[in-house]
C-alpha cells in the first residue's frame, strides 16, 4: 500500500484524513491519499500568499524564475517514466500514452521558462506634455489551480508553468480520482530550489475545491473540468472576486468530406475518440461524414475499432485501457441504452467487458434515425463515437455548430478553399484540418461557449496570469497650479 502526502509550504503532510485510491485495471485499493479539509486548504493558501509577498520570490528577477523552471523541466524529463507508471496505475491511462505525454510535458516548462523574462510593458504617447505614462505587467497573485484526473500532469503544467513564469504562486488541487502523479510531482518540484510556498499541491473532494476557489486570498482560479463544476467555481469566485480561466468539455465534431483520404481520416478518428480511452476533453466524439462515403468510412472505422487491443494499461501492447472510474462506465451504459431506445443503432461495441476493472470497448453508434439521441449531445468521457451524415457543406456547418460546446473540431478534405470556409464557419477554439489532437506549448488551447474561456499554452496563457499597472510620472518641476482641476 503506497501513501501519498500533501505538499504545503515546502513540507509534506498527511492531511486531516486519508482516502483510498482504486486501481482502475483491477478495481482494488492500491494507495492511500491525503484528504484536504478546510484547514489544509487555508494553510496552503496562506503559504502561497506568504511566498508571493516574500522578498525571495517577489524580488527574484524574471530571468532567475525562468532558470528555476528550466531546471524543473529537466527533472520532469528525467523522471518521466516514473511519473508515467504512477499515472497509469492510479488512472488506468495506458503506459504508452502516459510515457509519451509526460516526456512532452517537460517542453511546456521549458517554453514558459523562456518566456519568463519576455513579459513587456508599454510606453503610452500620452496627450499631456508634462507626463510620462507607461504600463507594467505584474503577477496577478495567488492562483488556485483545479485539475481533473485525465492527463493531469499536462493539465497542471499548462497552469503551473505560466503562473510561475509570471511571478504568481499556486495552490493546485488534484482530483480525488487518481491524484497520485501530482502528489509524486511535488517531490520532484521540491528538489528544484523554489522558495517554500511558491507551489502547494493538495487533493480532496468537492468540499476542498469549494474552500479553495472561494478563499479570500485567492486572486485567480484556473480550472479544467466539467461545465457544472465550473458553474460552482464561478459562483465561488463571487466571494473573492477572483478572475477565472475555464477549460471545459466538448462534443467536438469530426467532419469527413467525400474527397478526404479515407484511410488517413479513419486513423485520425480512431486517435480522436479511442485514444486515452476517449477520456479527453477534445475527443472527436461526433463523426459527421458525407452521405456518399458513409458506408465505406464506417466499414473502415468498424474494422479498425474491432482490431484495437484492449488490455492492462501497464502493457505497452495495450491500445485501450480501463476507464478511470466505475461511475464513467455506468454513465456510458446509461447514455447508450437511452440512445438505442430512441432509434440509434450499434455499429460495434456498446457492452461493458466482463471481469475485473472498469473496461469498456470502443463503441460506434449510428444516429441516422435518431438525430436527438442523448449520445449526440452529452459528453461520455469514454470511447464512444456517435455518427451522423450530411449532404453538403452548409449542412455540415449547421450540424457542427449544433452544440453548446465549442472546444475543438476536425475537418478532413483535400479542397483547400473548402477547408478555409469551414475554419471560418465553425465555432470552436481549435480547428484541426487533416489531423487531430495535435498540441504544442506554443499554441493556445481553449474554447467557446460551455467549453469555457481563457487560453492555455502560448503567450496568451502567460498574460492571463498578469495584471496591468498604469504609472503616471509628472516631469515638470513647476508647482501644480490648481488642485481642483484634473491634469
Domain spans of the chain, in order of start:
2-248+447-471, 253-433
- Three cell numbers written together for 250: 466538448
Q: From the candidates 168, 281, 300, 375, which is the catalytic residue?
A: 281
What pLDDT band is residue 352 in, cutting at 50, 70 and 90?
Answer: confident
DSSP string, 83-139: HHHHHHHHH---HHHHHHHHHHHHHHHHHHHHHGGG---EEE--S-TTEEEEEEEEE
| pLDDT averaged over every residue in the chain | 95
Query: d(Cα 251, Cα 376) in Å, to the nearest integer?
Result: 8
What pLDDT band is residue 484 in, cutting at 50, 70 and 90?
Answer: confident
Q: 355 pLDDT exceeds 90?
A: no
| Across 430-448, average pLDDT | 96
Find where cell 468539455 sits.
249
Q: What percent of the chain has pLDDT over 70?
A: 100
pLDDT at 111 (0 to 100): 98
Find where cell 478495481 sits.
27
| Across 124-140, average pLDDT | 96
Task: Give per-residue burial for 34-62: e unless 16+ CB within 10 Å, then b.
Answer: bbbbeebbebbbbbbbbbbebeebeebee
Answer yes or no: are the C-beta atoms of 139 and 168 closer than 8 Å.
yes
Task: Give per-residue burial for 193-211: e unless 16+ CB within 10 Å, then b.
Answer: ebbbbbbbbbbbeeebbbb
Active site residue 393: no
Among the listed residues 16, 13, 26, the one whose alpha carbon sits nearest the alpha carbon of residue 204: 16
Strands (E), 374-416: 384-390, 408-412
Q: What percent of the chain has pLDDT over 90?
A: 91
Active site residue 367: no
pLDDT at 380 (0 to 100): 83
Find where cell 467525400 sits.
258
Answer yes or no: are the C-beta atoms of 202 and 174 closer than 8 Å.
yes
Burial class of residue 83 (count of CB atoms within 10 Å of its CB; 0-12, 13-18, 19+) = buried
DSSP string, 182-225: HHHHHHHHTTT-PPTTSEEEEE--HHHHHHHHT-TT--EEEEES
Answer yes or no: are the C-beta atoms of 313 and 322 closer than 8 Å.
yes
Q: 487 pLDDT exceeds 80?
A: no
| Across 397-419, average pLDDT | 97
Distance from the first to the final alpha carbon of the chain = 69
Strands (E), 352-465: 363-366, 384-390, 408-412, 430-433, 452-453
Strand 131-139 versus strand 122-124 pairing type: antiparallel
pTM of the model: 0.94
Q: 228 pLDDT exceeds 80?
A: yes
| Across 439-465, average pLDDT | 95
Map residue 15 onto helix, strand or coil. Answer: strand
- Three cell numbers written together for 288: 459527421
Q: From the candidates 87, 97, 184, 247, which is the catalytic residue?
A: 247
What pLDDT band is residue 347 in, cutting at 50, 70 and 90?
Answer: very high
Q: 483 pLDDT exceeds 90?
A: no
pLDDT at 328 (0 to 100): 87
pLDDT at 16 (0 to 100): 82
Q: 486 pLDDT exceeds 80?
A: no
- 2-248+447-471 and 253-433 agree in CATH topology: no
Map residue 41 onto helix, strand or coil. Answer: helix
Tens of pLDDT, residue by residue over 18-60, are 999 999 999 999 999 999 999 999 999 999 999 999 999 999 9
CATH node for 2-248+447-471: 3.40.605.10
pLDDT at 354 (0 to 100): 81
Residue 436 CA, distance from chain mean position = 16
Residues in CB range of 106: below 8 A, 6 or more apart: 73, 74, 76, 77, 80
What pLDDT band is residue 324 in, cutting at 50, 70 and 90?
Answer: confident
Superfamily of domain 253-433: Aldehyde Dehydrogenase; Chain A, domain 2 (3.40.309.10)
Give one word for 15, left, alpha or beta, with left for phi > 0 and alpha for psi -120 to 50.
Answer: left
Amino acid at each position: 500500500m503506497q501513501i501519498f502526502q500533501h505538499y504545503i509550504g515546502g513540507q509534506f503532510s498527511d492531511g486531516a484524513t486519508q482516502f483510498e485510491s482504486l486501481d482502475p485495471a483491477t478495481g482494488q485499493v492500491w494507495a492511500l491519499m491525503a484528504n484536504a479539509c478546510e484547514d489544509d486548504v487555508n494553510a496552503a493558501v496562506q503559504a502561497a500568499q506568504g511566498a508571493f509577498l516574500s522578498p525571495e520570490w517577489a524580488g527574484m528577477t524574471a530571468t532567475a524564475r525562468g532558470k528555476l523552471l528550466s531546471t524543473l523541466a529537466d527533472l520532469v524529463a528525467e523522471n518521466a517514466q516514473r511519473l508515467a507508471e504512477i499515472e497509469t496505475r492510479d488512472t488506468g491511462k495506458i503506459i504508452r500514452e502516459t510515457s509519451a505525454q509526460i516526456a512532452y510535458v517537460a517542453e511546456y516548462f521549458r517554453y514558459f521558462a523562456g518566456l519568463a523574462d519576455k513579459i513587456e510593458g508599454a510606453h503610452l504617447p500620452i496627450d499631456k506634455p508634462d507626463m510620462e505614462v507607461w504600463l507594467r505587467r505584474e503577477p496577478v497573485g495567488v492562483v488556485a489551480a483545479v485539475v481533473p484526473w485525465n492527463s493531469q500532469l499536462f493539465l497542471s503544467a499548462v497552469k503551473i508553468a505560466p503562473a510561475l513564469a509570471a511571478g504568481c504562486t499556486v495552490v493546485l488541487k488534484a482530483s480525488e480520482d487518481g491524484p497520485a502523479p501530482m502528489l509524486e510531482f511535488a517531490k520532484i518540484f521540491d528538489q528544484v530550489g523554489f522558495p517554500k510556498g511558491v507551489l502547494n499541491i493538495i487533493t480532496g473532494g468537492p468540499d476542498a475545491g469549494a474552500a479553495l476557489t472561494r478563499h479570500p486570498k485567492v486572486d485567480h482560479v484556473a480550472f479544467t473540468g466539467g461545465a457544472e463544476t465550473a458553474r460552482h467555481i464561478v459562483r465561488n469566485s463571487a466571494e473573492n472576486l477572483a478572475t477565472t480561466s475555464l477549460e471545459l468539455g466538448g462534443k467536438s465534431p469530426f467532419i469527413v468530406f467525400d474527397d478526404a483520404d479515407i484511410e488517413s481520416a479513419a486513423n485520425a478518428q480512431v486517435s480522436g475518440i479511442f485514444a486515452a480511452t476517449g477520456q479527453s476533453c477534445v475527443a472527436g466524439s461526433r463523426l459527421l461524414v458525407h452521405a456518399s462515403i458513409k458506408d465505406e468510412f464506417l466499414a473502415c472505422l468498424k474494422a479498425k475499432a474491432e482490431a484495437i487491443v484492449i488490455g492492462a494499461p501497464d502493457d505497452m501492447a495495450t491500445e485501450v485501457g480501463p476507464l478511470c472510474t466505475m461511475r464513467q462506465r455506468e454513465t456510458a451504459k446509461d447514455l447508450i441504452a437511452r440512445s438505442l431506445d430512441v432509434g440509434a443503432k450499434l455499429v460495434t461495441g456498446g457492452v461493458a467487458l466482463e471481469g475485473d476493472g472498469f473496461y469498456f470497448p470502443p463503441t460506434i453508434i449510428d444516429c441516422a434515425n435518431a438525430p436527438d439521441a442523448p449520445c449526440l449531445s452529452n459528453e461520455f468521457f469514454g470511447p464512444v463515437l456517435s455518427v451522423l451524415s450530411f449532404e453538403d457543406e452548409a449542412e455540415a456547418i449547421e450540424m457542427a455548430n449544433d452544440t453548446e460546446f465549442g472546444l475543438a473540431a476536425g475537418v478532413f478534405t483535400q479542397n483547400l478553399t473548402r477547408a478555409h470556409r469551414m475554419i471560418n464557419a465553425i465555432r470552436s477554439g481549435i480547428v484541426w484540418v487533416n489531423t487531430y489532437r495535435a498540441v504544442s506549448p506554443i499554441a493556445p488551447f481553449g474554447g467557446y461557449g460551455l467549453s469555457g474561456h481563457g487560453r492555455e499554452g502560448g503567450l496568451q496563457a502567460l498574460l492571463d496570469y498578469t495584471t496591468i499597472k498604469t504609472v503616471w510620472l509628472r516631469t515638470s518641476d513647476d508647482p501644480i497650479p490648481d488642485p481642483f482641476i484634473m491634469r
